[in-house]
Every structure is written in structure tokens, then in C-alpha cells.
Amino acid sequence: MITVESLTKSYGGYTAVDHVSFTAAPGRVTGFLGPNGAGKSTTMRIMAGLTEPSSGSAHILGRRFAELPNPGREVGVLLDASAQHAGRTGREVLRINARLMGLPGSRVDEMLDAVGLTEEESLRRVRNYSLGMRQRLGIASALLGDPEVLILDEPANGLDPAGIRWMRDLLRGFADGGGTVLLSSHLLNEIEVVADDIVVIGLGRIVASGTKADLLASAETLVRADDLRGLHAALVGAGLASTPADGALLVSGDAGHIGRIAFAAGIAVTELRAADGARLEEMFLELTASTAREGNAA
């Protein structure tokens, strides 16, 4: 469980995170979304104990990161896959981390196998790794201590389509096993596939949060009829907003009410159903249109 309450971080006169509150629950993947400069990375750095908040709190399993007795055994963190010692081999990176956590050396081999790094690749120096290999090594480090919580910032960067699918299955399996996953990614279609809950941040403030199903649900009704023009006029006359959509109308209203209006107007309806939910990209762009700051750090 991750609990963030009224979290605020200011730098001089600039507020990067402004009274942010949300939770990430066990057994679920929470997608953490926002445009560049929205405050995602700052929030995640505070969670991981790398940045002190100006006020508010971020707790993992009921404690601040600094209060966890052996953090790597409770929370796995990947914020920057490139922030690894370039002169060490992948195996050395994991071996050192395992010793710090008090883990047996066999755990290193387990994690290399789990993330798909071969023996040959594990003996290369990190400076010679591709970005995708560094991501796999970073994920291995995050999973090394068999934690209950994962905090991952853009973990799919540099992965090919097969790697992205592997990442999706790994996170889904971790959550299905009772783990808590907080995932930030610019690959909105991947978030849409794997996330159970979504938190959207813009200009340092939460602009939307809830289950994916609720946030993407559409309140509109799709209706088709041979006389669309007449139906549109009848609906507008009844005070309902109606817009054309691929040979049909999207109407802000209840299907039963719309059907009665069409019947009263003598118009035969050929299709009447709830409209498909919005896609995550559409929802994201709509929610963050006024908060996007392209080119700024998050």
C-alpha cells in the first residue's frame, strides 16, 4: 500500500507538487500519468526518500521510506535505469545490492533469469548495455528483495515490443500475487492495458483519479436511425446535446429517454446503446490540455 497525503514540494517560489493525495492499493496496478513538468517524478522521488517534501507525507506500508528497516526488502524502486554504475558488470550490480539487503547470492541468478539477461550479458559492463538491457537490470534490482511494493518510472523505455509485453505480464503477475504497483509511463496504451487504477497529475495537482473503468466510462448514448437529421432536431428540441459520429449520433442522455423522444417524433431507431468508453489517450489529453508544459522536467 502506498498512501500520499497533501504532499507538497516547493523550490523557492515554484511549487512542483501541490497538495497531492492518492493511494495505490495492494493487488492492483496504479498508473501515474501527467504531461512533462506535471510533478510525477518529484512525487516518486519523495516516495523513495530521495527528495524531502515541503509538507505532507508519503507512506509505503505505513511508513516513510527512511523508516523502513530494510527498504529493498519492502519496496522495489526504478526511477532512472541509466543511474547505475557504468564500470560494473550487471552481475556485480545485483551482487552488491543483494549483500546490502542480506540476500543469498543465488537470488542474483534468479533475478537475471527472471528479467531475461543471459550469463554473457550479466558479465558485460553496464556502460556497454543498451537502454533496454539497463531497464531489465533496473527491474531485476527492484525485484531482488522480493518486495511488496514496486515504484517504477518509465520502466518500458528502450524495450522492444516483446520486452514491453514481458513487462506488462510481469507487472500483472506481481499485482495478482498481492503486490502494489505504481507505474509511470508515457506509453498510454500500455497503461490502458495493464492498469487497474489511474491517477492523473497536472501542474503539480491531481486532476483525476479512480478506477480505469470509471474514468474511461462514457456517459453518452449512441443512436442510429434512417432519418438522422430529423432525430437530431428532435433531440436538440428536447434539450439534449447531439453530435454526429460515423453515421450515428452521440447523445448526452439516457437511452430510454432518447428512445421515447424518437418514438414521439415518429422516427424509427435502428441502433440504441451506451457509447463505447473513451480511450485513455483521449481522456489524458482532455484532462491535461491546460496543464501541459512540453519540454519541462516532470
Residue 283 domain-assigned (yes or no): no
- In the three-class reduction of DSSP (H, G, I as helix; E, B as strand; rest coil), residue 287 is classed as helix
Do 224 and 201 share a structural domain? no
Q: Give the end of a domain, one of 215, 234, 255.
A: 215
pLDDT(200) > 80:
yes
pLDDT of amino acid 278: 66
**CB-CB contact of 35 with 202 (8 Å):** yes
What distance in Å separates the CA atoms of residue 5 and residue 13, rounded to the nearest whole number?
Answer: 22
Q: Is the domain of 244 the same as that of 211?
A: no
pLDDT at residue 70, rounded to an integer: 95
Q: Are residues 148 and 227 in the same domain?
A: no
Q: What is the CATH number of the domain that holds 262?
A: 3.30.70
Q: Nearest Cα to 129, choosing from 185, 79, 76, 85?
A: 85
pTM of the model: 0.81
Axis-axis angle for helices 131-143, 161-176 (nearest 10): 10
210 and 249 both lie in a single domain: no
One domain, residues 234 and 112: no
Residues 147, 261 share a domain = no
Is 181 domain-assigned? yes
Looking at residue 127, its amino acid is R
Which residue in 143, 215, 150, 157 sits closest to 185, CA to CA? 157
Q: What share of the chain is helix, strand, coil (3-state, %, to 5)?
A: 40, 25, 35
Condensed to tens digits (0 to 9), the pLDDT of residues 205-244 reads 999 999 998 888 766 889 999 999 999 999 999 999 888 8
Which set of grid coordinates corresponds to residue 197? Answer: 487504477
At residue 114, the pLDDT reads 94
Any domain includes 297: no
Rounded to whole angstroms, how far apart are CA atoms 40 and 54? 16
Higher pLDDT, 63 or 282: 63
Give the model's confidence band at 293: pLDDT under 50 very low, under 70 low, under 90 confident, else very high.
low
pLDDT for 14-37, tens place per residue?
999 999 999 999 999 999 999 988
Q: Compute the C-alpha angle 55/59/61, nearest 5°.
A: 170
What does the block give as the cell for 34? Answer: 501527467
Say if residue 184 is in the same domain as residue 260.
no
User: Residue 165 belongs to what domain range?
Assistant: 2-215
pLDDT tens across 156-176, in order? 888 889 999 999 999 999 999
The answer on 268 and 208 residing in a single domain is no
- Give the integer Cα–Cα distance in Å for 295 and 287: 18
Q: Are residues 174 and 135 in the same domain?
A: yes
What is the Cα–Cα distance from 243 to 283, expressed in whole angstroms? 18
SS3 96: helix
Residues 224 and 211 in one domain: no
68-124 residue pLDDT tens: 999 999 999 999 988 889 999 999 999 999 999 999 999 999 999 999 999 999 999
Q: Is residue 291 predicted with pLDDT exceeding 70?
A: no
Model confidence at 297, pLDDT cuts 50, 70, 90, reads very low
Q: What is the mean pLDDT of the chain?
A: 91
Percentage of the chain beyond pLDDT 90 is 74
Report yes or no on 282 lying in a domain: no
- Report the pLDDT value the prediction gives residue 252, as an integer from 0 to 100: 82
